[in-house]
Structure formats: C-alpha cells, structure tokens
Structure 1
Amino acid sequence: MKKYIPNALTLTNLFCGCVAVVFAVHTNFVFAAIFVFLGIFFDFFDGFFARKFNVQGELGLQLDSLADMVTSGLVPGIVMFKLLELTNSSWSNSATDSLVNSVFSQITDAGFLPFLGFAITLASAYRLAKFNIDTEQQSFFKGLPTPANTLLIMSLPLIMEFQNNDFINAIILNKWFLIVLTLVSCYILNSDVKLFALKFKNYGFKDNVVRYIFILLCVVLLVVLQFASIPVIILLYIIMSILDNLTSK
C-alpha cells in the first residue's frame, strides 16, 4: 500500500494544478494561488514519501514532471498572460519610449503581447525535460526550480490584492516590468547556476548552515513583508546559492 502513496500525492498535485488553471483563466488569482500552493505542497511530499518508503522509480519521476508541467508550468504562464492583458493598452509617451512605440505598437494594438506570458510555460517544459535526464541534480538544482519560479509569478497578483500599494501596483502592471520579468524567468529556469536544494541528509547545523540561515530569513521576511517577501526570498535564494558556490570553491 505504501508504494502507491507518492504517486497518489503527485496526482493530487496535478488535480490542484487543473483547478488552478480554471481559476487563473477566469482571473481569480487568489483561488488560483491557493490551489498552486496546495499543489506545490503535495509536490514536496510525494518526493519525501518516495524516499522514506524507498519506492523511487522512473514512473514516479515522469509523473512528477507531468504534474509540475501543469501546476508550475501552465498556471504561471496563464497568470502572466492575464497580467499582461491587464496592463494599460497605451505605451508611455516619453521621449525615451518613442522608438519602442514605433517598434511594438502594432504588436500591442493587435493584442499579441499577452501571449509572451506563455514563454514561461515553454521554458518550464524545457527545464523539466532537462531535469529528467540530468543525473547530477541530487543535492542541488541547475537553474531555478519550476515551483520556486511559480511562487514568484503567483506572488504578483497577491501583492496587488492584499497589500494594495499604489506604487507597487504601478510597477507590477507596467508592461516593461512584466516583459523583463518573463524573459529573466525563462533564463533563470534554464541557467547553469547551481542552487542549493532544501534536502537535509542530516540535521546538523554545520552541514546545513546555509539552509538554516535561509529558512530563518524566509520566516522573518514573510512576517515583515507578507506576500511582497516572495520576490525578495527568490532573489535571496539565488544570491545565497551563488555565494555558497564561491565559498565552497
């Protein structure tokens, strides 16, 4: 019976992703985020129980990636599509934007720009496929894991919904910010930067000092900044991983 638990959790992750898709399509970002968070929760524990019960196998690996493709690939793509759709249809009239206007005005007027959001879905699919055939990523990740990237994208509408800061909202709903974030997201998903994994082989402080410090900082940031802490946490994760790589060398 135990051998079925990890795959059951993976399928629950997939179900949560499907529900999140429905809410995201209808621009109900709060409920979409709830089901994405639930999906990521089940995604974490399917691997945990697979290791605990020693039932890891090729089927579970492939099923896990297929579930992640929906929860952490399709959903953030739809959310970015919707955010780009919500942005003001007119570009800035400043002198610095005049050249950009002439290049992109036709694309914007035709309504093609929001489809750029699905670049995140494509980059996520490529990252998951690479992960499946990479035998090195046991104690670390190459590039940002898809669930972490999804948390980053999902945090944007939650920040607007619950923190309601006009300055921050203006940044989030700025076309250029969303375009740059989409491109950076696609790059960091498939970069070769080594990022530490939150997998504890033991619980000794000396062997896990970076993980413990990161978790402590995450708790503090979540309490202080709430949903606005998520982009900061992702940035902190990348910076601490790079510093850990440099010190270990």
Structure 2
Amino acid sequence: MKQHIPNAITLLNLFCGSIAVIFTVNNNLLTAAIFVFLGIFFDFFDGFAARKLKVQSELGLQLDSLADVVTSGLVPGLVMYKLLVLSLDRVVLNSSNGWSGNGFSGITPASLLPLFGLFITLASAYRLAKFNIDDEQQTYFKGLPTPANALLILSLPLILEFQDNDVINAVILNKWFLIAVTILSCYLLNSKIKLFALKFKDFSFKANAIRYIFLILSLVMLIVLQFAAVPFIIVLYILLSVLDKSTSK
C-alpha cells in the first residue's frame, strides 16, 4: 500500500497543473498561479515521501516528469503566451482572426508572436527528458529545475497584479522584455550550470550551509520585495550554486 502514496501525491501535482491550465486559458492567471504553487508543493513532497518510505521506483520517476511537464512546463508557457498577448495590446484569441477555430485566415506575424512563449513548454519537456536519463543529477541539478523556472514565469503576472508599479508594469508588458525572458528561460532550463538541490539528508548547518543561507536570504527578499523578489531569488540560487564547492566538482 505504501508504495502508492508517492505516486498519489504526484498525481495531485498533475491535477493541480491541469486546473491551472484551465484558469490560464480563461485569463485567470492569479488562480492559475495558486494551483501551480500547490502543484510544486506536491512535487517536492512526492520525492520526500518516496525516500522516507523507501519506495523509489522507475514508475515514480517517469510519472513525476509527466506531471511536471504540465504544471511546470505547459502552464508557464501558456502564461508567457498570455503576457505576450497583453504586450501587443490586442486579443489574439477572438473571432476577428485566425485563432477563432474557423481556419487560419487572418493570421498575421503579430498574432503569431505570442506563440513564442510556448518555447518554454518545449524547453521544459526537453529538460525533463534529459533529467530522466542522467544518473548524475542526484545531489545537484544541471540547469534550472522546471519548478523554479515556473515560479520565475508565474511571478510576472503576480507582480503586475499586486505591486502595480507603472515603471515595472511597462517593463513586464514590453514584448522585447518578454521575448528576452523566454529565451533566457529556455537557456537556463537546458544549460550545464550545476545547481544545488534542496534535499536535506540531515538538518545540520555544516552539511547544509548553502541551503540555509539561500532559504534565509530568500525569505528576507520575499518579505521586503514580495513577488518582485522571485527573479532575484532565482539569480541568488544560481550565484550561490556557482560558489558552492559541492556542485562545482
């Protein structure tokens, strides 16, 4: 019975991701973000449960990646698509153009641009496939993990919603900024940069100093900057990983 517990948690991740897709398609990015956060929570604890119960399996590994493709791959790709639509100040999915389901008449280069955001989904799927066949990524990651990348992308609409700063809004809703973030996201997902994993074999400070420093600094930034802290936390994660001797070996 206990061998099914981690897989059930993984399926909860997939369930949350599927709900997030529905809300994203219906332009409710805030609720979508909430379900992505829940999915990432379940994604963290399915592996934890498998290790604690000593029931790791190949099925669990594959199921975990399939769930992540939706929650941390498809959803951020769709969110970037929606943000690019907003940056063009037009609704691409209406009856006046080719995305209405009536064929491809009326499709223009401008209406195609938002599809560029879906490259995040493609890069996420490729990253997860590589992870599944790489035996080295047990104590560290190569490239930015898909949940971290999803948090980065989902932070953008949350910043727009809750921090409502005209300058920041203008930057986020600039199509060139969004294109640059998409390209950077795809690169980081599949880069060879070694990043430490937030896996605690024990809770001693000596063995987990880099993790504790990261968590404490991240908490401080979240308190001070709120959702705007997320991009800085990703940068901090990369910088600390580069400095961490255990991942530089």
Bigger CA drift: 74-83 or 196-205? Answer: 196-205
Tell me: CA distance 1:211–1:112, structure 2 relative to 1, closer, same or farther (3 Å). same
AA matched with 1:227? F
Confirm whether residue 228 of structure 1 aligns to residue 228 of structure 2.
yes
Q: Distance in 2 between matches of 1:246 and 1:202?
A: 16
* Matched-pair contact (CA < 8 Å) for 1:89–1:108: no
Q: 1:112 to 1:248 in 2, by over 3 A?
A: closer
What secondary structure does 1:135 align onto? coil
Segments of structure 2 that go 5 or more residues without pairing to the other structure are 91-106
Structure with greater proportional helix content? 1
2:116 — aligned with what? Answer: 116
Structure 1 185/219 Cα, relative in aligned 2: closer, same or farther at 3 Å? same
Paired with 2:245 and 2:74, the residues of 1 have a C-alpha distance of 31
- Identity among equivalent pairs (%): 70
In 2, the alpha carbon distance for the partners of 1:60 and 1:79 equals: 27
**Deviations, residues 42-81 of structure 1 (Å, cap 9, x unaligned):** 0000000000000000000000000000000000000000
Residue 88 of structure 1 deviates from its aligned partner by 3.2
Q: What is the distance in 1 between the residues matched to 2:247 and 2:207?
A: 14
Q: CA RMSD in A?
A: 1.6
Q: Distance in 2 between matches of 1:82 and 1:14?
A: 21
Q: Distance in 1 between matches of 2:21 and 2:173?
A: 21
Contact 2:12 2:39 in 1 (8 A): yes
- The C-alpha deviation readout for 1:114-150, integer Å capped at 9, x for no partner, is 0000000000000000000000001000000000000
- Structure 1 residue 89: Cα displacement: 5.0
Match in the other structure for 1:31: 31
Paired position in structure 2 for 1:101:
none
Relative to structure 1, the CA distance from residue 109 to residue 37 in structure 2 (aligned partners, 3 Å threshold; closer, same or farther) is same
TM-score (norm 1): 0.90
Kindly provide the amino acid, as one letter, of the partner of residue 57 in structure 1: S
Q: Distance in 1 between matches of 2:134 and 2:219?
A: 32
Distance 2:215 2:121 in 1: 28
Paired amino acid for 2:162: F
Give the TM-score normalised by the residue count of structure 2. Answer: 0.90
Count of equivalent residues: 233
Amino acid at match of 1:17: G
1:39-50 paired onto structure 2 within 5 Å: 39-50=39-50
- What does residue range 98-113 of structure 1 map to in structure 2 within 5 Å? 109-113=109-113
